[in-house]
Amino acid sequence: MKSKRFQARRYQLKKEGAVVVRQGHPWIFRDKLSTAVEAFEDGQWLQLVDALNETVGWGIYQATGGVGIRVLRKGVNPPSREWFKKLVQKAIAQRAPLRSQTEGFRILNGESDRLPGIVLDLYNGYAVLQTYSRGVDSLGRYLANVAYELLGLRGLLWKTPSKRKDAEQPGVRLLRGNLPGVVRFQEGALKLAADLRSGQKSGTFLDLRGLRRWLAEQNLRGARVLNLFSYTGAIGLACCEGGAREVLNVDAAQPSLDFGARYHAAPAQRWVCADIFHWIPQLTSQDYFDWIIVDPPSMASQMDQVPQALAVYRRIYRQLMGHLKPGGVMIACCCTSRISPDRFEQVVRQALGGAKVWQRLPMEVDHKPGFPEANYLKILIFRPPSQRSQPPSLPALHKKADHQPVKGRRRARPKTT
């Protein structure tokens, strides 16, 4: 951003595109654009006009992907530095109450804060910027610097989101201050840690804070918990806080489990490295859990992947039902907006034998969705009807008791530590 007003070029929208902008949606999908848009370079800022040449808004052209234009601002007034700065101030003010509860939260939440493609996460004074298209790279850096000054931060990292393919300089870059290898941060009662450079997302899954808080407040005394797709076991640690006797964290990424064993250790935490889709069928009829938490990766970034993802959900929840103790709790998470909340609930309910949802956890305030597509995260908590009358008297799965992660074998009997 070199000038107060950006060098926008004029682009005439089709009728449906103008309607999208007037209705306040932040994306115009490519199929709603005329071919004239292809004359622009990726990242070009646009003055959006309707069929009568009236300005309806301002946006950024994106040459690849389903979204063709990200809308920056609705109406005749162009977005300026001052205007963006106010949005950053507003986003920070909205999250002020969170600061007494956690040192890790999202400061800027992209389109939901009217800052298209720009995400900034905070971990105990260190921030991670992620920009989702070339057109917002410099704006993102500018706004992250604004937040850096306003919040008096210690370090600012710019990290390319894993799903972004068009980055000029992919990877991670320290923009301001310094950054320790691992950042520790307090979240409620939990002492968490994240590797901001090489961890998934901005370092950890901040959007799961509501689930961690909820679990830490539950009475899990004596419970055996299966935490599937555990990443670094932060959810497992929340279960320990709730009193769990044993938490089996299962993930395919050995480095994530190693990190968890080092930074999220607790006497009840166990670590299993395995491909979960091969691991579940190897559980025996003696393997029972009081709580099962399932938080798989998205599996459906495009609509045509949805049927396959739903089929996977159906299969694993059916399989897992055979390993949940009577009266046990099943927590089902889904992190793709391609699958609607209703569809997800319906599929999991059916697979769980018609179980009703006991609790539905909303998205946290710092991730609050500002438009339908941003409403990606579903967290449903079930207490399914019993499938068996009695659990086995002895838990068969876990016998050893050290806390080192071990490598799983794809088709071998599940190993735990």
Ligand X SMILES: C[S@@+](CC[C@H](N)C(=O)[O-])C[C@H]1O[C@@H](n2cnc3c(N)ncnc32)[C@H](O)[C@@H]1O
Chain residues that interact with ligand X, rule: CB under 6 A: 204-205, 208, 229-231, 234-235, 251-253, 256, 275-277, 295, 297, 335
CA distance 139 to 104: 23
How many Å separate Cα 53 from the centre of its chain? 40
Q: Which of 118, 204, 163, 113 is nearest to 298 (CA)?
A: 163
Name the token pair of 236: 């497992």
Cβ-based burial of 366 (10 A; exposed 0-12, middle 13-18, buried ≥19): buried
Which residue, 273 or 347, is less far from ligand X as judged by CB? 273
Which residue, 253 or 374, is less far from ligand X as judged by CB? 253
Name the token pair of 17: 């595109």
Alpha-carbon distances, residue 45 vs 9, 40, 191 (angstroms):
6, 9, 43
Q: Which of 292, 378, 283, 286 is nearest to 329 (CA)?
A: 292
What is the radius of gyration, based on Cα positions, of the chain? 23
Which residue, 28 or 248, is less far from ligand X as judged by CB? 248
CB of 145 to ligand X, least distance (A): 29
**Per-residue buried b or exposed e for 196-216, using 16+ beta carbons within 10 Å of the residue's own CB:** bbebebbbbbbbbbbbbbbbb
CA distance 63 to 37: 9
Rounded to 5 degrees, φ, ψ at 394 are -115, 130
The enclosing H or E element of 359 equals strand 357-361
Which residue, 40 or 231, is less far from ligand X as judged by CB? 231
Which residue, 146 or 273, is less far from ligand X as judged by CB? 273
CB of 242 to ligand X, least distance (A): 15
Name the token pair of 42: 């990726």
CB of 128 to ligand X, least distance (A): 15
Which residue, 30 or 197, is less far from ligand X as judged by CB? 197
CB of 282 to ligand X, least distance (A): 13
Which residue, 179 or 377, is less far from ligand X as judged by CB? 377
Which residue, 67 or 335, is less far from ligand X as judged by CB? 335
CB of 194 to ligand X, least distance (A): 10
CB of 236 to ligand X, least distance (A): 8
CB of 65 to ligand X, least distance (A): 21
Which residue, 182 or 253, is less far from ligand X as judged by CB? 253
Q: Which of 201, 186, 182 is nearest to 237 (CA)?
A: 186
CB of 335 to ligand X, least distance (A): 6
CB of 320 to ligand X, least distance (A): 14
What stretches of 41-125 adopt beta strand conformation (E)? 45-49, 55-61, 67-74, 104-109, 118-123
